[in-house]
Amino acid sequence: MVSQVSKQKPRRFAAIVLAAGAGRRFGGAKLTAPFGEGVVIDSALDLAAAAGTPVIVAIGADPQVAARARARLKDKAELIIVEVASWDLGLSKSLRAAVAAVPKACDGAFICLGDMPKIPHAIPSRLASAFEETDLAVAPFYQGLRGHPVLISRALFSRLDGLKGDQGAGRILDGLGPALRRVDTDHAGIGFDIDTQADLTPKSETSRP
């Protein structure tokens, strides 16, 4: 008797970049502010392109973000721009609008934040490799703290409808228990975001006497 080895259907994940906010604490236009050799959002766009397809960018306050995404991802990834009409109502509005644009052929989506430029691009592949059928989400952890990006299953999409204001998916992830798979990493970049102008300067420089 010849045993047949079942082949699992390859999973397909989209990648979402949340980039609709005004960046008020930064002083506005945060995502297109100079950072490194480019601007703040560049790394998140590159991360998303490495993570999945299509790349869905939720835009709102800064009209330059869409142009930056088109230029950055040209010939690198399928791009879907989602204009969030009520972006000023908070992160939850952008998240729901972006998730609604995920093609039905996708099994889930990576959630990337546009203001986190230090996430290693190898992280998404580690999350995807760790994902199992029973998981509702997979997230990286550094020293016990959850970071980004987070990979969420399509089965979790409907739960995002209850989010309001500036709520992200964090509250839902906190309640998943074992359905949230942890992937430990030694990269602190999964928790670093640009919040104010001071964050544009490396800590090693700001700590100098």
CATH number for position 150: 3.90.550.10
* pLDDT tens digits, one per residue of 150-167: 999 999 999 998 888 888
* pLDDT tens digits, one per residue of 87-121: 988 898 999 999 999 999 999 999 999 999 999 99
Q: What is the number of structural domains in the chain?
A: 1
**201 in a domain, yes or no?**
no
Token digits for 155? Answer: 């089965």
**27 in a domain, yes or no?**
yes
pLDDT of residue 205: 37
**3 in a domain, yes or no?**
no
Q: Where are the alpha helices (DSSP H) in 19-163?
A: 42-51, 64-73, 91-100, 123-130
Is the distance from CB of 112 to CB of 151 less than 8 angstroms? no
The span from the CA of 4 to the CA of 9, in Å, is 15
Domain containing 121 equals: 13-195
**183 in a domain, yes or no?**
yes
pLDDT of residue 209: 27
**E runs forming strands in the chain:** 13-19, 34-35, 38-39, 55-59, 79-83, 108-113, 137-142, 145-146, 150-153, 180-184
**167 in a domain, yes or no?**
yes
* Backbone phi and psi for residue 19, each to the nearest 5 degrees, phi listed first: -145, 35
Residues 43-66, mean pLDDT to the nearest whole number: 95
**168 in a domain, yes or no?**
yes
Angle CA 44–46–50, to nearest 5: 115
pTM for this prediction: 0.90
Token digits for 48? Answer: 């998303």
**135 in a domain, yes or no?**
yes
The mean of the pLDDT values for the chain is: 90
pLDDT of residue 28: 87
